[in-house]
Amino acid sequence: MSPTHFSLDVGGGVLSHVSLVHVALLAASLCVAIPAYTFIYNVYFHPLAGFPGPALYGGFECVKVYQQVTGRINERLHELHEAYGDVVRVAPWELSYTSAGAWHDIAGGKGGGVPTNPAYGLRERDFYGALGLLWLGSDGHARHRRILSPAFSDRSLREQEPVVAKYVDLLVRRMHEKAGSVVDMWAWANFTTFDIIGDLTFGEPFNCLEESRFHPWIFFLFSRLKMMMYGQIVMTMGYLGILMEVLVPRRLRHEADEHVRCTKDKVDRRRERAAAADDAHRPDFMTHILKHVTDTLGPGNDSKAGDGSMTLSELYANCQTLVMAGSETSATLISTAVHSLLREPRAMSRLAAEVRGAFAAEAEITPLTAASRLPYLHAVISESLRVRPPLPAGIHRRVGPGGATVQGHFVPEGTSLQVTHWAAYHSSRNFAEPWAFAPERWLPGKGDAAAARFAADNKAVFQPFSVGTRACLGRGLTYLETRLALARLVWNFDMELMPESEDWDDQRVWMLYEKKPLNVKLTAVRRD
C-alpha cells in the first residue's frame, strides 16, 4: 500500500485508498476556515460589532492576550482610546471605558453595578476552597463587606495609627543608618507597607524592615506576577485554558502550594491567639473579623437562611487579598511620588518647604497633622495616583442576565467591562497635559495660572479606589500610611535620583507593575 494511502473498515465495508494528502488539505482548510469564520462573525455579526475599535481586537481574543503577555496592555489600551474614543471594543466580548459616567453605570448604582467577573477568581477558589470579597457575586460580596468594613472604619484606623507610626519610625531610622548612600526606595516602601499590613492583619509583621529583605511569602507574590496573569487568562479561555494549565511546571505548582500554606498558617496562628484565655493582644483587623468566622470550610451561605458568617476558607482567601491590596497600593504610591518629585525639582522644593515650614519638630508630624496642615502633600498624592494608578487596568465586571445599559448603549449579557484607570487618567479628553506631573491641578484656586491651566480637567473620572459598594475598603489606610511616610521622609532627607532610575516609571504591567529598583541617594537634613 502506498504510504500516502490507507484503508478504513467502516461497518463491514471498506473505505479505501483515501489520500492522506486530501486529509491534510481538509485539515488545512479547516484551520483557515474556522478562524476566518470567527473573524467575520465577530467583526460583522457579533452583538458587540457596533462598538468602535480595531477589527483585529474585535475579531480575535488572542490579540489582547498578546498585549497582556508582553506587559504593554495599559499603553496599548491608552492608544486605542485616543484613537477611537471613550469606549473601545478590545476583545470579542470586552469593552473598555474612559468616561466619568461609565463609573456609575459599571461600578455604582443599585446593587453595586455590574458584578465582577467570577472567572478571574477561580484560581483563588482552587487554592482556598472559596472566593474572597473581590470576586463574589452581589449577595456574597455584601455579606463579606458587612464583616470586613468595621476593621477599616475611621474609628478602627484611629486605633491603628500607633502601629502605622511605629513602622514609619523604623523606616526613618533605617534610612538614617543609610544616609549618604544609595538605597532602593521601592524596596523600602514595600518593606514598610508589608510590615504594617502584616501586623494589622495577622498581628505580627513580616520583619522586612528589621531584616532588610522580603519575607518568602511576599517574594513569591512579586516573582510570580506573570504566572498570576497567566492564571487569570487560563480561567477565561475554556478548553484552551485547560490545555495551557497542563503545561505549568511542577515547580511553580509547588511554590504556589507553599504560598497558600503560609497564608493559612498565619491565619491559624492569629486564631489560636484569639482563642487563648490570656490573649491580651491589642486590637487589629482580625479582632473585628474573627467574631464572624466559623470553622466551616468551603463557600458560605448567601441564602436568606444564612447567618451572615464567614467560613474559614473565605477568611483565608480574604487575607490573601487584604495583604496584597493593603501593601502594594501604598508602596506603589510612595515610590511613584518619590520618583515623580525627583523628576520635578520644582514640585519637590515646594513640598519640602511646606513640610519643613509646617512643623517646629518632627514629633509634631502625626497622621492628623499630616492630613490637616499639608495641602500640597495631598495634591502630590492625588497626582501620583493619577500618573501611576496602582491597578492600571481596573477590575473586570461581567454583564449578567438581561444585559445592561452603559453610557446610553445596551450591552448584552456575558460582556466583560472595565473603566481602565491608566487610559482614563492619561486621556487628553480628560486631563490637560496628561503626561505632566502637576500636583497643582488638585489644589483649589481661582484666578491663578495653575487654575486656568487645569480648569477643564475632568476630575470626576479620577476614581483610583473605584466607586459604589465595591469601592476599595483600604482607601483610608492608604492615605494614612502614605501621608505619614512621605511627610517624615521629606522632613528628614534631601533626595537625589540616580541616573539608572531616571526611567523607573517605564515599567511593564502583568496585573501589577513589574518591580524595578528606585535608586535614590539620601542626605540627612541638618538642623542647627
Angle at 330 between CA 287 and CA 517, to 5 degrees: 130
CB 517 within 8 A of CB 368: no
Three-state SS for 292?
helix
Q: Is 62 known as a binding-site position?
A: no
- Distance CA(391)–CA(377), nearest Å, equals 21
Looking from the CA of 68 toward its CB, the CA atoms found within 13 Å total 20
Maximum pairwise Cα distance, the chain: 104
Residue 283's contacts (CB-CB under 8 Å, 6 or more residues apart) are 156, 159
DSSP code for 413: T
Nearest to 91 by CA among 33, 48, 135: 48
Instruction: Transcribe 84-97 into DSSP letters.
Output: H-SEEEEETTEEEE
- Distance CA(113)–CA(120), nearest Å, equals 18
| 235: number of Cβ within 10 Å | 20
**Distances in whole angstroms, Cα of residue 502 to Cα of each of 341, 470, 505:** 12, 36, 8
Per-residue cell: 291: 467574631
Q: Where are the alpha helices (DSSP H) in 395-497?
A: 421-425, 449-453, 475-492
- Distance CA(228)–CA(8), nearest Å, equals 47
CB 319 within 8 A of CB 263: yes
Annotated binding site for heme: 472
Annotated binding site: 472
